[in-house]
Amino acid sequence: MSDIQIWTLVFVGLSFGTYLTIAWRSRVRETKGFYVAGQGIPAVANGAAVAADWMSAASFISMAGLIAFLGSDGSVYLMGWTGGYVLLALLLAPYLRKWGKFTVPEFVGDRYSEYVRLIAAVAAIIVSFTYVVGQMRGGGIVFSRFLNLTIEGGVAVAAGVIFLYAVLGGMKGITWTQVAQYTVMIVAYLIPAWTIAQKMTGFPVPQVTFGQILDELNALSQEFGLEQYTEAFAVRPQLDVFLVTLSLMIGTAGLPHVIIRFYTTKSVRGARFSALWALVFIGLLYTTAPAVGAFTKLNLMQSVNGVAVDALPAWVNNWAATGLVTVSDSASTITTLSNDPASGADLIVNNDILVLATPEIAGLPAPIVGLVAAGGLAAAMSTAAGLLLVISSSVSHDLYFRVVKKPTSDSRRLLVGRIAMGAAVLVAIYGGINPPAYVAQVVAFAFGLAASTFFPILVLGIFWKRANAVGAASGMISGLAFTGAYMIYTLEVFGTSSHEFLFGISPEGIGALGALVNVVVTVVVSKLTTPPTEHVQEMVEELRYPARRVTSPVAETE
Tell me: pLDDT of 80 over 80: yes
Beta-carbon contacts of residue 13 (< 8 Å; ≥ 6 apart): none
- What's the pLDDT at 556? 36
For the ranges 17-26, 232-241, 375-384, 542-551, the one whose mean pLDDT is highest:
232-241
Could you please report the per-residue DSSP string of 259-322?
HGGGGSBSSHHHHHHHHHHHHHHHHHHHTTHHHHHHHHHHHHHHHHTT-BGGG--HHHHHHHTT
**Residue 78 pLDDT level (bands cut at 50, 70, 90):** confident
What does the pLDDT look like over 178-235, one tens digit per residue?
888 889 999 999 999 999 999 999 999 999 889 899 999 999 888 887 888 888 888 8
Beta-carbon contacts of residue 433 (< 8 Å; ≥ 6 apart): 136, 137, 140, 151, 152, 155
Distance CA 153, CA 168 (A): 23
Q: Which of 234 and 440 is assigned the larger pLDDT?
A: 234
- What's the pLDDT at 414? 72
Residue 376: name the closest of 127, 61, 164 by CA: 61
For the chain, the first-to-last Cα distance in angstroms comes to 55
Percentage of residues of the chain with pLDDT beyond 70: 88
With vertex at residue 258, the alpha carbon angle to CA 254 and CA 262, rounded to the nearest 5 degrees, is 110
Helix (H) or strand (E) holding 493: none
Residue 175: name the closest of 275, 373, 292, 34 by CA: 34
- What's the pLDDT at 558? 32
Tell me: pLDDT of 552 over 90: no
- What's the pLDDT at 317? 87
What does the pLDDT look like over 389-428, one tens digit per residue?
777 777 776 777 776 666 566 677 777 777 877 888 888 7
Cross-sheet strand order for the sheet of 325-327 = 325-327, 347-349, 337-338
Tell me: pLDDT of 76 over 70: yes
- What's the pLDDT at 408? 63
Task: Please name the amino acid found at residue 75.
Answer: S
Residue 135: name the closest of 378, 496, 307, 373 by CA: 378
Beta-carbon contacts of residue 517 (< 8 Å; ≥ 6 apart): 452, 475, 478, 479, 482
* Least confident span in 366-375, 415-424, 517-526, 539-548: 539-548
Distance CA 148, CA 140 (A): 11
Can you tell me whether residue 532 is helix, strand or coil? coil
CATH code of 3-296+364-435, in short, is: 1.20.1730.10
Distance CA 549, CA 532 (A): 20
What is the rounded average pLDDT for all residues in the chain? 83
Could you please report the per-residue DSSP string of 403-468?
IISSS--HHHHHHHHHHHHHHHHHHHHHHHHS-SS-HHHHHHHHHHHHHHHHHHHHHHHHH-TT--
Distance CA 169, CA 191 (A): 31
Helix (H) or strand (E) holding 178: helix 151-201
- Arithmetic mean of pLDDT, 499-513: 91
Distance CA 2, CA 21 (A): 28
Tell me: pLDDT of 379 over 90: no
Q: Is-contact 141 122, C-beta < 8 A?
A: no
- Arithmetic mean of pLDDT, 504-514: 93
Burial bucket for residue 409 (CB in 10 Å: 0-12, 13-18, 19+): exposed
498-520 burial, b if ≥16 CB within 10 A, otherwise e? eeebeeebbbbbbbbbbbbbbbe
Burial bucket for residue 237 (CB in 10 Å: 0-12, 13-18, 19+): middle
Long-range contacts of the stretch 310-315 (C-beta < 8 A, 24+): 313/361, 314/360, 315/357, 315/360, 315/361
- Residue extents of the structural domains in the chain: 3-296+364-435
Distance CA 502, CA 504 (A): 5
Distance CA 181, CA 15 (A): 8
Q: Is-contact 67 288, C-beta < 8 A?
A: no
Could you please report the per-residue DSSP string of 51-83?
HHHHS-HIIIIIHHHHHHHHGGGGHHHHHHHHH
Beta-carbon contacts of residue 434 (< 8 Å; ≥ 6 apart): none
- What's the pLDDT at 342? 79
- What's the pLDDT at 90? 82
| Inter-CA distances, 349 with 185, 329, 425, Å | 24, 15, 29
**Residue 30 pLDDT level (bands cut at 50, 70, 90):** low
Residue 322: name the closest of 350, 344, 345 by CA: 350
Residue 523: name the closest of 483, 481, 467, 477 by CA: 467
For the ranges 81-90, 138-147, 291-300, 411-420, the one whose mean pLDDT is highest:
291-300
Tell me: pLDDT of 550 over 90: no
